[in-house]
Structure 1
Amino acid sequence: MKQLKYRSAAFLLSNKLDPSAIERVFRAHPMVPSTELNYVNKANIKLAAVQMELRPYRSLSDFILHLQEIVAQAQEHGAQLVSFPEYVGLLPLLISPTFREMGEDFFDALEEGKLEDCRNILNYFSEELSELLFSCYYNTFALLANRSHLYIHAGSTLLANGGKLYERCFLFGPDGEAVLEQDKLFLSPLEQELGICPGEELELCDSPLGRLAILPGQDSFFYETAKAARQLGAQILLCPLRPVHQDNEVAERCGPWSRCQEQALYALCSHFVGQLDSFRFVGKAGIYGPYEATRATQSGIVSRCASESPSVLVSRVNLDYLDIPVDLYAADSNPALAQMLAAAYSEFPQPLEHLLPLTTETDNEEI
């Protein structure tokens, strides 16, 4: 009986998510194209990290208008790239009450440790829903990038390919074409048990905004992936996340923040906030950078949302700061300590002269 119910719901949802229906919504609600990419200065790249509310949608139009509203907020503050959270591509399922209920069943089974039930739901998703959801995801975000004339990092989605299930991320350019695809590389033990497969390669996109790599979820917590990205030439990491625990700040300090300090990179972290059944999604969107790029705050944090309310965080980053050499012994900005050590130890190195002026001004906006 449940299979028949799912089949009927899938048929109804396929009509609602048809590519022509997506196009009609964009025609009915035109977007104002941004001009921020007409001139790009590597010393003034403006990035937007989305702290997105997880909520059910009444219709496809409701879903697309929510995305348009987020992008419009980023546009108002001059963003050139907007990054959405992990698994944003699954949100159209919430249009259907039946599949919203299926999602709740999945989380209930997960909480109770019934992994076989979880695998059955994912198998059904792979066979019946993956292609439909992916088509909606891809077409929606491609049009979103094209109509806004921005770079849109479309978080991630689940995609069945060759009988295997992958978590795949996309970055769309201002013409609506996908300029970067990335499969998640490091899977948690739970993801492996659920049958999700890891990717095999780390990709890079050389864009006017710098060289970009995507490290979804756990990938941004591993030293090896960030090091590989840096060796490939990456300057900005796009890190879509979906934490479901409270200790989010500590977790990020062990993940994207640490990777920025080790590899001299910027990291853009987007999050879901809200509740689905008994699962509460918590997190604060943030933009992190190496110490030398955040001397004003001495924190390695370019900016971070102040609360867990839905918001769009827009900040300016300077790619030139990534090339400042760091002397681990003379990088502390405490002049009294430096003088004391220099007086006590004749071989203590003198502080480096910065290659670039370090300003105390900030240009961070939380909407």
Structure 2
Amino acid sequence: MTVTVAAAQYPIDRFRYFDDFVAKASRWVKDAADRGADLLVFPEYGGMELTSLLPEAVIGDLSAQLEALQPLRDDALAVWRRLAMQHEVTLLAPSLPWRLADGRYVNRAWLITPDGRLGHQDKQIMTRFENDEWGVSAGDGLRLFDTPAGRLGVLICYDSEFPDLARALVEAGADLLLVPSCTDTPAGYHRVRLSAQARAIEQQVAIVHAPTVGEALWSPAVDINTGHAAIYTPCDHGFPPDGILTRGEDATPGWQLARLDLPLIRALREQGQVNNYHDWALQPQRLALGVEAMRLTEE
């Protein structure tokens, strides 16, 4: 099974009307679909551009915007669902803060299949900004999605920096890991990028990284956005030596597309130059031996 994957370098735009958002979403999905994409991955917190439709006083208030955003969320999700069905693509929509029944807010990304089926993944481990300043909480557990584009797992931004989360998804059968991100500094971007590449090597799996890009200085939550969309693979037979199948060269908004052979990637776990996926189990045995402090001696 081969799939054409599209990773978005997605700007946070300011809208006057909800129809402006609809027009933008329609352009983006049509562009990727017209170029043959089967799977479209949008970034973390791309949904925050909807806050531009709120009153000015609310836009500038981190706390107030969480509540005010909620009446827009279902209509926005309906737009992404309609577009996925119209263009017959699997689509990870831009995430946004989502209020739960208990009043907590989570960072939720919705996955939509060509026939309109829906599932969501909430971010698992929160950054200092989300915890300390914004009041966005961790969601409940990881999910594996069976889609026409393969079995997919989602690690939202900071989640990609924790190896055991990726391991759990691949052990559960994930063919691809999707990493939507939103980072405001080059350091943040590189943390996610290098973590995504490390997860690709450790688990012998492909990773799709989709970031926000550009400035939205009107927004206190997503004012500066730094990143390059990319698709990473193991550094092994049939793939680039550096594991970079494609990556954006600058911050220009748009898609990075590549064709992925999922059976070939799975085969690496049995026939690759190295055996990272299976050798993961050797770590506890080695660690059980402890760490011995050694005094260097002269021969």
The answer to whether the superposition gives a TM-score over 0.5 is yes
| TM-score, length of structure 1 as denominator length | 0.68
RMSD of Structure 2 on Structure 1 (CA): 2.0
Contact 1:184–1:199 (Cα < 8 Å) also in 2? yes
Distance in 2, matches of 1:203 and 1:182, equals 6
Aligned partner (choices 289, 293, 306) of residue 233 of structure 2: 289
1:92-146 Cα deviation digits (max 9, x unpaired) = 22134x24x644x34xxxxxxxxxxxxxx42x344x4243122122211111112
Corresponding residue of 2:11: 53
Matched, 1:165 2:165: no
Distance in 1, matches of 2:227 and 2:50, equals 22
Corresponding residue of 1:155: 94
Corresponding residue of 1:201: 141
Contact 1:257–1:289 (Cα < 8 Å) also in 2? yes
Post-superposition offset of 1:248: 5.8
Corresponding residue of 1:267: 207
Q: Secondary structure at the match of 2:93?
A: strand
1:195-232 Cα deviation digits (max 9, x unpaired) = 22212211001123211011111011110110011111
Corresponding residue of 2:251: 308
Q: Secondary structure at the match of 2:251?
A: coil
Residue 206 of structure 1 aligns to which amino acid in structure 2?
D
- CA distance 1:294–1:64, shift in 2 (3 Å): farther
Residue 272 of structure 2 aligns to which amino acid in structure 1?
V
Matched, 1:66 2:24: yes
Equivalent runs, 1:216-231 vs 2, <5 Å = 216-231=156-171
Residue 309 of structure 1 aligns to which amino acid in structure 2?
T
Residue 264 of structure 1 aligns to which amino acid in structure 2?
Q
Matched, 1:280 2:224: yes
Distance in 1, matches of 2:238 and 2:97, equals 35
Distance in 2, matches of 1:270 and 1:306, equals 14
Residue 326 of structure 1 aligns to which amino acid in structure 2?
G
Matched, 1:76 2:34: yes
Contact 1:292–1:321 (Cα < 8 Å) also in 2? no
Distance in 2, matches of 1:290 and 1:85, equals 22
Distance in 1, matches of 2:245 and 2:48, equals 30
Distance in 2, matches of 1:134 and 1:56, equals 16
Distance in 2, matches of 1:208 and 1:177, equals 11
Q: Secondary structure at the match of 1:201?
A: coil
Residue 76 of structure 2 aligns to which amino acid in structure 1?
Y
Residue 9 of structure 2 aligns to which amino acid in structure 1?
Q
Corresponding residue of 1:244: 184
Distance in 2, matches of 1:261 and 1:215, equals 16
Corresponding residue of 1:339: none
1:296-346 Cα deviation digits (max 9, x unpaired) = x311111101211111111101112222223349xxxxxxxxxxxxxxxxx
Corresponding residue of 1:176: 116
Give the fraction of aligned pairs with identical amino acids, expressed as a percent.
26
Q: Secondary structure at the match of 2:4?
A: strand
Equivalent runs, 1:182-193 vs 2, <5 Å = 182-193=121-132
Post-superposition offset of 1:249: 5.9
Q: Secondary structure at the match of 2:228?
A: coil
Q: Secondary structure at the match of 1:255?
A: helix
- CA distance 1:305–1:81, shift in 2 (3 Å): same
Distance in 2, matches of 1:293 and 1:132, equals 49
Q: Secondary structure at the match of 1:273?
A: strand
Post-superposition offset of 1:241: 0.5
- CA distance 1:276–1:226, shift in 2 (3 Å): same
Corresponding residue of 1:354: none
Contact 1:221–1:256 (Cα < 8 Å) also in 2? yes
- Misfit runs of 4+, over 6 Å: none
- CA distance 1:141–1:252, shift in 2 (3 Å): same
Post-superposition offset of 1:294: 5.5
Post-superposition offset of 1:192: 1.8
Contact 1:274–1:281 (Cα < 8 Å) also in 2? yes
Residue 283 of structure 1 aligns to which amino acid in structure 2?
G
Residue 173 of structure 1 aligns to which amino acid in structure 2?
T
Distance in 2, matches of 1:284 and 1:309, equals 9
1:166-189 Cα deviation digits (max 9, x unpaired) = 1111101112220x2111101113
- CA distance 1:184–1:84, shift in 2 (3 Å): same
Aligned pairs, number: 266
Corresponding residue of 1:118: none
Contact 1:48–1:313 (Cα < 8 Å) also in 2? yes
Residue 94 of structure 2 aligns to which amino acid in structure 1?
G
Contact 1:55–1:274 (Cα < 8 Å) also in 2? no
